[in-house]
Protein backbone atom coordinates (compact mmCIF):
# COMPACT_ATOMS: atom_id res chain seq x y z
CA UNK A 1 0.00 0.00 0.00
CA UNK A 2 1.25 3.49 -0.82
CA UNK A 3 1.55 6.37 1.61
CA UNK A 4 1.96 10.07 0.92
CA UNK A 5 2.05 12.93 3.45
CA UNK A 6 1.01 16.43 2.38
CA UNK A 7 2.12 19.61 4.17
CA UNK A 8 0.56 23.06 4.10
CA UNK A 9 3.87 24.90 3.77
CA UNK A 10 7.02 24.43 1.73
CA UNK A 11 9.85 22.33 3.16
CA UNK A 12 7.44 20.02 5.03
CA UNK A 13 6.26 22.66 7.46
CA UNK A 14 2.82 23.41 8.91
CA UNK A 15 -0.13 21.08 9.29
CA UNK A 16 0.05 17.72 7.54
CA UNK A 17 -2.33 15.13 6.12
CA UNK A 18 -1.43 11.47 5.55
CA UNK A 19 -3.10 9.65 2.66
CA UNK A 20 -2.93 6.03 1.48
CA UNK A 21 -5.69 6.07 -1.14
CA UNK A 22 -7.35 8.43 -3.64
CA UNK A 23 -8.29 11.89 -2.36
CA UNK A 24 -10.58 14.05 -4.51
CA UNK A 25 -9.95 17.30 -2.61
CA UNK A 26 -7.00 17.71 -0.27
CA UNK A 27 -8.38 21.10 0.81
CA UNK A 28 -10.97 19.20 2.83
CA UNK A 29 -8.08 18.34 5.16
CA UNK A 30 -5.62 21.22 4.69
CA UNK A 31 -6.02 24.91 3.86
CA UNK A 32 -3.34 24.59 1.19
CA UNK A 33 -0.65 22.13 0.12
CA UNK A 34 2.85 23.19 -0.89
CA UNK A 35 5.07 20.15 -0.22
CA UNK A 36 4.81 16.40 0.29
CA UNK A 37 6.72 13.24 1.09
CA UNK A 38 6.02 9.92 -0.60
CA UNK A 39 6.96 7.17 1.86
CA UNK A 40 5.92 4.25 -0.35
CA UNK A 41 4.16 3.52 -3.61
CA UNK A 42 3.46 5.76 -6.59
CA UNK A 43 0.94 8.60 -6.88
CA UNK A 44 -0.44 11.01 -9.44
CA UNK A 45 -1.06 14.48 -8.03
CA UNK A 46 -3.29 17.13 -9.63
CA UNK A 47 -3.52 20.90 -9.28
CA UNK A 48 -7.34 20.86 -9.35
CA UNK A 49 -9.95 18.92 -7.34
CA UNK A 50 -11.49 15.67 -8.60
CA UNK A 51 -8.33 14.55 -10.40
CA UNK A 52 -8.39 17.39 -12.92
CA UNK A 53 -5.82 19.86 -14.21
CA UNK A 54 -2.07 19.42 -14.58
CA UNK A 55 -0.82 16.03 -13.45
CA UNK A 56 2.51 14.86 -12.04
CA UNK A 57 3.81 11.36 -11.34
CA UNK A 58 5.57 10.90 -7.98
CA UNK A 59 7.67 8.03 -6.68
CA UNK A 60 9.09 7.63 -3.21
CA UNK A 61 10.96 10.78 -2.19
CA UNK A 62 10.66 14.29 -0.78
CA UNK A 63 9.13 17.18 -2.73
CA UNK A 64 9.82 20.39 -0.85
CA UNK A 65 8.19 22.96 -3.17
CA UNK A 66 5.40 22.23 -5.65
CA UNK A 67 5.85 25.56 -7.40
CA UNK A 68 9.20 24.32 -8.69
CA UNK A 69 7.83 21.07 -10.02
CA UNK A 70 6.65 22.46 -13.34
CA UNK A 71 10.07 23.86 -14.08
CA UNK A 72 11.69 20.54 -13.20
CA UNK A 73 9.85 18.72 -15.96
CA UNK A 74 9.33 21.55 -18.44
CA UNK A 75 5.58 21.82 -17.91
CA UNK A 76 3.09 24.31 -16.54
CA UNK A 77 3.99 25.54 -13.06
CA UNK A 78 1.96 24.01 -10.25
CA UNK A 79 0.79 26.37 -7.50
CA UNK A 80 -0.62 23.73 -5.18
CA UNK A 81 -1.87 20.15 -5.00
CA UNK A 82 -5.64 19.69 -4.83
CA UNK A 83 -6.17 15.95 -5.39
CA UNK A 84 -4.23 12.70 -5.73
CA UNK A 85 -4.59 9.11 -6.92
CA UNK A 86 -2.66 6.12 -5.65
CA UNK A 87 -1.40 3.98 -8.54
CA UNK A 88 -1.66 0.22 -7.96
CA UNK A 89 1.33 -1.75 -9.17
CA UNK A 90 0.56 -4.06 -12.08
CA UNK A 91 2.68 -7.19 -12.54
CA UNK A 92 1.01 -8.80 -15.54
CA UNK A 93 1.01 -7.92 -19.21
CA UNK A 94 0.33 -4.41 -20.48
CA UNK A 95 -2.14 -3.82 -23.30
CA UNK A 96 -3.81 -0.73 -24.68
CA UNK A 97 -5.66 0.10 -27.90
CA UNK A 98 -5.11 3.64 -29.14
CA UNK A 99 -7.30 5.47 -31.64
CA UNK A 100 -6.52 8.42 -33.84
CA UNK A 101 -9.86 10.15 -33.25
CA UNK A 102 -12.39 10.43 -30.44
CA UNK A 103 -15.05 7.73 -29.88
CA UNK A 104 -12.63 5.05 -31.10
CA UNK A 105 -12.48 6.38 -34.64
CA UNK A 106 -9.70 6.55 -37.22
CA UNK A 107 -6.56 4.47 -37.09
CA UNK A 108 -6.37 1.86 -34.32
CA UNK A 109 -3.22 0.23 -32.98
CA UNK A 110 -2.47 -2.01 -30.02
CA UNK A 111 0.36 -1.26 -27.60
CA UNK A 112 2.00 -3.74 -25.27
CA UNK A 113 5.17 -1.77 -24.61
CA UNK A 114 6.41 1.82 -24.46
CA UNK A 115 6.13 4.05 -27.52
CA UNK A 116 8.57 6.96 -27.81
CA UNK A 117 6.78 8.49 -30.81
CA UNK A 118 3.31 7.70 -32.16
CA UNK A 119 4.20 9.55 -35.34
CA UNK A 120 7.36 7.56 -36.04
CA UNK A 121 5.93 4.17 -35.08
CA UNK A 122 2.34 4.36 -36.34
CA UNK A 123 2.26 7.53 -38.46
CA UNK A 124 -0.29 8.92 -36.00
CA UNK A 125 -0.05 12.63 -35.22
CA UNK A 126 -2.34 12.31 -32.18
CA UNK A 127 -4.32 9.88 -30.02
CA UNK A 128 -7.78 11.15 -29.04
CA UNK A 129 -9.31 8.02 -27.49
CA UNK A 130 -8.10 4.73 -26.07
CA UNK A 131 -9.13 1.49 -24.40
CA UNK A 132 -6.77 0.41 -21.62
CA UNK A 133 -7.10 -3.36 -21.31
CA UNK A 134 -4.25 -4.15 -18.91
CA UNK A 135 -1.86 -2.13 -16.78
CA UNK A 136 -1.44 1.52 -15.90
CA UNK A 137 0.06 4.03 -18.34
CA UNK A 138 1.28 7.59 -18.73
CA UNK A 139 0.56 9.54 -21.92
CA UNK A 140 2.80 12.49 -22.81
CA UNK A 141 2.22 15.49 -25.04
CA UNK A 142 5.76 15.36 -26.47
CA UNK A 143 7.84 12.56 -27.92
CA UNK A 144 10.32 10.63 -25.76
CA UNK A 145 8.06 10.89 -22.69
CA UNK A 146 8.43 14.64 -22.18
CA UNK A 147 6.07 17.52 -21.44
CA UNK A 148 2.71 17.37 -19.72
CA UNK A 149 1.45 13.94 -18.82
CA UNK A 150 -1.85 12.13 -18.34
CA UNK A 151 -2.48 8.99 -16.28
CA UNK A 152 -4.83 6.29 -17.62
CA UNK A 153 -5.86 3.04 -15.93
CA UNK A 154 -7.96 0.11 -17.24
CA UNK A 155 -11.12 1.40 -18.88
CA UNK A 156 -12.50 3.11 -21.98
CA UNK A 157 -11.62 6.73 -22.73
CA UNK A 158 -13.83 8.00 -25.54
CA UNK A 159 -12.38 11.50 -25.56
CA UNK A 160 -9.03 12.21 -23.93
CA UNK A 161 -9.71 15.93 -24.42
CA UNK A 162 -12.42 15.70 -21.75
CA UNK A 163 -10.15 14.43 -19.00
CA UNK A 164 -9.60 17.83 -17.44
CA UNK A 165 -5.99 18.50 -18.43
CA UNK A 166 -5.39 22.24 -18.70
CA UNK A 167 -5.51 23.37 -22.35
CA UNK A 168 -5.69 20.99 -25.28
CA UNK A 169 -3.11 18.23 -24.95
CA UNK A 170 -1.83 16.31 -27.96
CA UNK A 171 -0.60 12.79 -27.20
CA UNK A 172 2.79 12.02 -28.77
CA UNK A 173 4.30 9.23 -26.63
CA UNK A 174 3.07 6.61 -24.16
CA UNK A 175 4.83 4.73 -21.35
CA UNK A 176 3.94 1.89 -18.99
CA UNK A 177 4.07 2.47 -15.23
CA UNK A 178 6.19 -0.49 -14.22
CA UNK A 179 7.44 -1.89 -10.97
CA UNK A 180 11.18 -1.34 -10.71
CA UNK A 181 11.90 -5.06 -10.67
CA UNK A 182 10.37 -5.47 -14.15
CA UNK A 183 13.22 -3.67 -15.87
CA UNK A 184 16.47 -1.77 -15.27
CA UNK A 185 16.06 1.55 -13.51
CA UNK A 186 18.42 4.16 -12.14
CA UNK A 187 18.67 7.87 -11.45
CA UNK A 188 20.38 10.20 -13.87
CA UNK A 189 20.87 13.91 -14.36
CA UNK A 190 20.01 15.59 -17.63
CA UNK A 191 22.96 17.95 -17.18
CA UNK A 192 24.19 20.72 -14.93
CA UNK A 193 22.87 23.38 -17.26
CA UNK A 194 19.28 22.24 -16.67
CA UNK A 195 19.73 20.92 -13.12
CA UNK A 196 16.89 18.46 -13.50
CA UNK A 197 16.68 14.92 -12.19
CA UNK A 198 14.89 12.19 -14.07
CA UNK A 199 14.22 8.53 -13.58
CA UNK A 200 15.47 6.28 -16.34
CA UNK A 201 13.01 3.43 -16.72
CA UNK A 202 14.98 1.74 -19.48
CA UNK A 203 18.71 2.11 -19.75
CA UNK A 204 19.63 5.03 -21.95
CA UNK A 205 16.12 6.48 -22.17
CA UNK A 206 15.11 9.64 -20.33
CA UNK A 207 11.63 10.46 -19.19
CA UNK A 208 9.90 13.24 -17.31
CA UNK A 209 9.13 11.46 -14.05
CA UNK A 210 9.93 13.59 -11.03
CA UNK A 211 12.37 12.33 -8.44
CA UNK A 212 12.54 13.52 -4.87
CA UNK A 213 14.61 16.64 -4.31
CA UNK A 214 17.58 16.07 -2.09
CA UNK A 215 17.72 12.33 -2.74
CA UNK A 216 21.20 11.07 -3.46
CA UNK A 217 21.68 9.40 -6.86
CA UNK A 218 21.42 5.64 -6.51
CA UNK A 219 21.73 2.65 -8.84
CA UNK A 220 18.09 1.73 -8.34
CA UNK A 221 15.29 3.72 -6.70
CA UNK A 222 12.99 1.97 -4.28
CA UNK A 223 10.21 0.02 -5.98
CA UNK A 224 6.64 1.26 -5.82
CA UNK A 225 5.12 -0.80 -3.04
CA UNK A 226 1.60 -2.10 -3.37
If one compares 69 and 59, the residue with the highest pLDDT of the two is 59
User: 16, 6 in Cβ contact below 8 A?
Assistant: yes
d(CA 61, CA 66): 13
pLDDT at 193 > cutoff 70: no
Q: What pLDDT score was predicted for residue 16?
A: 98
Distance CA 207, CA 213 (A): 16
Among 99-108, 184-193, 201-210, name the most confident range: 99-108
Same fold flag, 3-87 and 95-176? yes
Residue 162's pLDDT band, with cuts at 50, 70 and 90, is confident
Where residue 218 falls among pLDDT bands split at 50, 70, 90?
very low
Residue ranges of domains in the chain: 3-87, 95-176
The domain 3-87 belongs to what CATH superfamily?
A: Crystallins (2.60.20.10)
* Separation CA 43–CA 209 (nearest Å): 11
Look up the CATH superfamily of 95-176.
Answer: Crystallins (2.60.20.10)
Amino acid sequence: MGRIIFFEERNFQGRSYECNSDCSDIHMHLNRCNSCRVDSGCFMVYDRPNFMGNQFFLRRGEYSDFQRMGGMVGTTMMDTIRSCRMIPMHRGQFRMRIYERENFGGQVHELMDDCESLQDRFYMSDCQSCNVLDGHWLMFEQTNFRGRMMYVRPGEYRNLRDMGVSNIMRISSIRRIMEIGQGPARFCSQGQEQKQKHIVMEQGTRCSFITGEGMDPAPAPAPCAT
